[in-house]
Copies of this chain bind each other. A is one copy, B any other.
Amino acid sequence: MDLTERKLKILQAIIGDFITTAEPVGSRTLSKKYDLGISPATIRNEMSDLEEMGLLTHPHTSAGRVPSEKAYRLYVDEIMKKQELSKSQKEVISKELYSNITELDRTIEHAAKILSHITNLTSFAITPRADEDLLKAINLLPIDEETVILMIVAESGKVSNMALKPRCQFTDEMLRILSKSMTYNYKGKTINQALKSDIVQHFESDVEAMSGLARNIMPNFVKTLEQMLNVNLYMDGLTNIFSLPEYNDISKARTFMEVMNKREDLAKKISCRDDGVMITIGTENEDDQLNDCSLITATYHIDGRLVGKLGVIGPTRMRYGEITSVIEYLTDNITNTFKIMGGKDDESENGK
Across-interface contacts of A139 in B (CB, < 8 A): 141
Question: How near does chain B come to A246, taking the closest CB pair, in angstroms?
Answer: 12
Across-interface contacts of A228 in B (CB, < 8 A): 351
Interface centre among A137, A163, A164, A230 (most CB of B within 10 A): A163
**Contacts A160-B352, A238-B261, A345-B167; A141 near B151 (Cβ below 8 A):** yes
Across-interface contacts of A239 in B (CB, < 8 A): 254, 257-258, 261
Bound: A160/B149 CA distance, A? 11
Residue A343, interface by CB 8 Å: yes
Residue on B nearest A166 in the bound complex, by CB: B345
Bound: A130/B49 CA distance, A? 68
Query: When the two chains form their complex, are residues B159 and A163 in contact, meaning their CB atoms are under 8 A apart?
Result: yes
Query: When the two chains form their complex, are residues B159 and A230 in contact, meaning their CB atoms are under 8 A apart?
Result: no
**Interface readout for A316-352 with B: 1 if CB under 8 Å, 0 if not?**
0000000000000000000000000001011111111
Task: Tell me how many chains of this kind the complex includes.
Answer: 2
Q: Which of B257, B345, B352 contacts A227 (CB 8 A)?
A: B352
Residue on B nearest A158 in the bound complex, by CB: B351
Residue A176, interface by CB 8 Å: no
Query: When the two chains form their complex, are residues B343 and A165 in contact, meaning their CB atoms are under 8 A apart?
Result: yes
Bound: A141/B238 CA distance, A? 41
Residue A172, interface by CB 8 Å: no
Residue A161, interface by CB 8 Å: yes
Residue A146, interface by CB 8 Å: yes
**Interface readout for A150-163 with B: 1 if CB under 8 Å, 0 if not?**
01010001111111
Residue A98, interface by CB 8 Å: no
Across-interface contacts of A151 in B (CB, < 8 A): 141, 149, 151, 161
Residue on B nearest A236 in the bound complex, by CB: B261
Bound: A161/B230 CA distance, A? 17
Chosen A-B contacts, 8 in total, with CB atoms closer than 8 Å, are A136-B143, A137-B141, A157-B163, A159-B161, A159-B163, A161-B350, A228-B351, A247-B250
